[in-house]
Amino acid sequence: MANQLSFDTEWTQDRVKENEFINRVRAKVGQWRKGGYQGVTRTTRELLEYWTNPEREVHLFFCQVEALETAIYITEVAKKYGDAWMENTIREANETANPQLYRVAFKMATGTGKTVVMAMLITWHVLNKFANPQDTRYSDSFLIVTPGITIRDRLRVLLPNDPNNYYKKWDVLPSNELPKLNKAKILITNFHTFKLRDTGELTRLQKSILPEAARAFKETPEQMVLRVCRELGNKRNIVVINDEAHHCYRRPPDDIDVKLKGEEKEEAEKRDEAARVWISGLEAVKEKKVMQIMHTG
């Protein structure tokens, strides 16, 4: 019987062990939920009540609401109730992995509605920013980054003026609040746009003979950010939402060198290069404009 309950996988012990940090956070958020969502802004309270109203025609999944509750608790409530350890732990993990970026991740199972969570996050930010423009915890500008064109097009439902937008379809906010979303700046792109482009005309032969000259005709990271984020104008307090963010990483120098050969090695190198372009692009955006990076995956 014991053998029937075990799985033949390559998972290491640390991958099957429960995440103590996540469990502690969920427990705290659960207590706060039962206590009636104390310590939040008026706008946030109205949204939470709207999302959890049992008489809603379009019901949200518990995991979707819990994702927002967690973001709200860490942003608005934790420090008031002695739970600054949550943000501190996240920042320490970021320092270890990617010290130039502060990233927060929402990991949800396939089919649980991550795109709806993105719509809820945007709504929470925009309505709070509209209510109090001076509050730097919130933003009305968003850069949504995807792993490819197909997913980029699929996420057009996050644009308030899209006929199939999720704000209406999933009743994310009262209809009278929709005009506020139309004033937000939401840019959706795929990470390939972060790749530095050629700014001059050099032939392939010239590039091979004069590699230094080829680099001189490349965009600078600053020029790339201006190109990618042109639609965001002069906005600097923006939120980046990364979809399928497990594709965005920089392999640590001391990472285990897995001996791959042939096609497997070539594929691994392509994945690492794509991940490097993605995360380097985010670092460049952060230097110029970014407030916070939210990941879904």
Q: Is residue 15 part of a domain?
A: no
Cβ contacts of residue 249 below 8 Å, gap of 6+? Answer: 98, 275, 279
- At 279 the pLDDT is 93
Quickly count: other Cβ atoms within 10 Å of residue 134's Cβ: 6
How much is the pLDDT for 17? 78
Could you tell me if residue 169 is inside a domain? yes
What tokens were used for 126?
């925009």
Q: What angle do CA 292, 276, 107 make, to 5 degrees?
A: 50
Write down the pTM of the prediction: 0.86
Domain count, the chain: 1
| Residue 1: predicted pLDDT | 45
Q: Is residue 205 part of a domain?
A: yes
Residue 181 lies in a domain: yes
The answer as to whether 5 is a domain residue is no
Give me the pLDDT at residue 255, please.
59
| Domain extent for 164 | 100-296
Residues near 206 by beta carbon (within 8 Å), at least 6 away in sequence:
213, 214
Give a yes or no: residue 265 inside a domain: yes
Q: Are 77 and 38 in contact (CB under 8 A)?
A: yes
Residue 158 placed within a domain: yes
- The segments of the chain whose pLDDT lies below 70 read 1-16, 200-216, 252-260, 295, 297
Whether 45 is covered by a domain: the verdict is: no
- Token pair listed for 287: 């230097």
First to last CA, the chain: 34
pLDDT of residue 206: 56
pLDDT of 2: 47
Q: The CATH number of the domain where 279 resides is what? A: 3.40.50
pLDDT tens-digit series, residues 201-253: 555 655 566 655 555 678 999 999 999 999 999 888 899 999 987 888 887 65
Angle, alpha carbons 142-147-152 (nearest 5°): 55
Predicted pLDDT of residue 35: 96
What pLDDT is recorded for position 23? 95
